[in-house]
Amino acid sequence: MEKSIETIWKEGFLESEALVAPKINDLYNQKSKQLIAKMKRMFKVNITAIVILSIIFPILHYFLDATWQGVAASVMLLTLAWYSKRQMKGIKTLNQGVNSYEYLKTFDQWLKNALSRNEKIIRFSYPLSLLIAMSTLWSAWNSQEELTAKIAQKFPGLIFIGNVPLALLVVAGIVTLLMFYFSGNIYRWDIRLVYGRVFDKLEETIAEMEKLRRE
Amino acid sequence: MSSDFYQFSILPFAAIIIKICRAYTNSQEDFEDYYQEVCLQIWRSKDNFKGQCEWSTWVYRISLNVCLTLLKKKKNGQQHFTSDRLPDDVTTDNKAFENESLNQLYKAIKYLSEVDRAVILLYLDEKPYSEIANILGTNPNNIGVRVKRIKERLKKILDGKIN
């Protein structure tokens, strides 16, 4: 080696072209792309998981002697997956020709609309899921005649409909109504649990870009 | 970010940012992304600067931290290269500078681990050991030994490439 590294360094940076700073005109471009790509990936994973569950459920229910409930759960999950997939197509209609800030704002608006629409669907699908689960339990209970006989013996005052105590049906009804009432909250909690961090990141980035535009 | 802030607080120190970002990226696109991210981070953390050190030291520190963070995110599980085998992507942008020797030196620097790269960049920019240690959060005594070792390694790498 002819020159020392110190000399190479000094001489190299004496040339003015070596230290030309790049223009900073599109500060958040890459960041916005990455953020939205991450969200799209998460949505896709979610839809795939729903489809997988819709296949597993009927098989599982078949072994629990509740095939119809399994089929019902599967149909419900597939409908949800189809609806989510349809919603995702909306992302493609967003104008990508605008600047990063406007694109993120449009995406944020799309996301809020999508979540609000989902909430309306979930209001029915959550209680329905609960009813399917209870129906599965009911099927399992009905096949346990010895258990019913034992309960009837121990609590002779209980009224039964089929093999199931009426009190239990009343409780199931109340829980379903509560589920219907609170499904929106449960959905929002569920969404925060899964997507909370990335949604916060979106909000933070938009807020920061707004600050950047103001200063 | 106001153009004044960029004009007076970043642009005069752009050389620092460019030198560091070049050492941690292998393409012009990545370099520009890293540069922008460093500028943003300097702007974001400007209120945290209380004059506890020189502004240039602050810029060094932020530049290094941002580059190391971005590199870690990018590698995301890939192995850091500390062996003498040249990673494929190091060869992708060997025309970053007009000066060929400088390109070769940068290429050699990219053989080093991330921390060694930081040490040698600061050393080559004539930062005293105490400041290097301050920026990297280590003991000044270790820096001297480390610089010597890094220089020997760089010489070995360059000997095969520059004559």
What's the rounded mean pLDDT across residues B28-41?
Answer: 86
Q: Could you report the per-residue pLDDT of B147-161, keeping only the tens digit for each?
A: 999 999 988 888 875
Closest CA to B108 of B126, B122, B94: B94
Residues from chain B that touch A212, judged by Cβ atoms under 8 A, are 1, 43
Residues from chain B that touch A215, judged by Cβ atoms under 8 A, are 1-2, 5
Higher pLDDT, A164 or A5: A5
Interface of A with B (CB under 8 A): 1-3, 5-6, 8-9, 11-13, 15, 17-22, 24, 26-27, 30-31, 208, 212, 215
What residues contact A19, with CB distance under 8 A and at least 6 apart?
A13, B14, B15, B18, B19
pLDDT of residue B3: 65
Q: Could you report the per-residue pLDDT of A166-176, keeping only the tens digit for each?
A: 888 898 889 98
Residues from chain B that touch A5, judged by Cβ atoms under 8 A, are 105, 124, 151, 154-155, 158
Q: Which of A3, A6, A8, A205 to mutate to test the interface with B (most CBs of B within 10 A)?
A: A8
pLDDT at B77 over 50: no
| C-alpha to C-alpha distance for A97 and A74, rounded to whole angstroms | 40
CB contact under 8 A, B35 and A9: no
Angle at A205 between CA A201 and CA A206, to 5 degrees: 120
pLDDT of residue A49: 94
pLDDT of residue A56: 94
Residues from chain A that touch B97, judged by Cβ atoms under 8 A, are 12, 15, 17-18
The number of beta carbons lying within 10 Å of the beta carbon of residue A183 is 23
pLDDT of residue A1: 55
Least confident piece of the model among A22-31, A71-80, A118-127, B45-54 = A22-31
Look up tokens 């990545």; give the residue. B30
CB B111 within 8 A of CB A13: no
pLDDT at A204 over 50: yes
**Third-level CATH fold of B3-159:** Butyryl-CoA Dehydrogenase, subunit A; domain 3 (1.20.140)
pLDDT at A30 over 60: yes
| C-alpha to C-alpha distance for A124 and B127, rounded to whole angstroms | 66
pLDDT of residue A45: 92
Indicate the residue of A8, A212, A215 with minimum beta-carbon distance to B101. A8
Residues from chain B that touch A12, judged by Cβ atoms under 8 A, are 97, 99, 101-102, 105
Among chain A residues, CA nearest to B44: A208
- Report the percentage of chain A scoring pLDDT > 90: 16
Closest CA to B32 of A30, A186, A177, A210: A30
pLDDT at A145 over 90: no
Chains A and B form CB pairs within 8 A to the count of 76
pLDDT of residue A77: 93
All structural domains of chain B with their residue ranges: 3-159
Among chain B residues, CA nearest to A5: B105
**DSSP at A166:** H
**DSSP at A144:** -
Q: Could you report the per-residue pLDDT of A70-129, keeping only the tens digit for each?
A: 999 999 999 999 999 888 888 878 776 677 788 888 888 999 998 898 888 888 888 888
Among chain A residues, CA nearest to B1: A212
| C-alpha to C-alpha distance for A84 and A92, rounded to whole angstroms | 14
CB contact under 8 A, B1 and A3: no
| C-alpha to C-alpha distance for A84 and A212, rounded to whole angstroms | 34
Q: How confident is the model at residue A55 (pLDDT cuts 50, 70, 90)?
A: very high
Contacts by A202-206, CB closer than 8 A, 24 or more apart:
A202/A35, A202/A39, A202/A104, A202/A107, A202/A108, A202/A111, A203/A108, A205/A28, A205/A31, A205/A32, A205/A35, A205/A104, A206/A101, A206/A104, A206/A105, A206/A108
For A165, phi then psi, to 5°, come to -60, 140
pLDDT of residue A208: 77
pLDDT of residue B85: 42
CB contact under 8 A, B163 and A2: yes
CB A151 within 8 A of CB A158: yes
Among chain A residues, CA nearest to B126: A6
What three-state secondary structure class fits A186? Answer: helix
Least confident piece of the model among A118-122, B2-6, B73-77 = B73-77
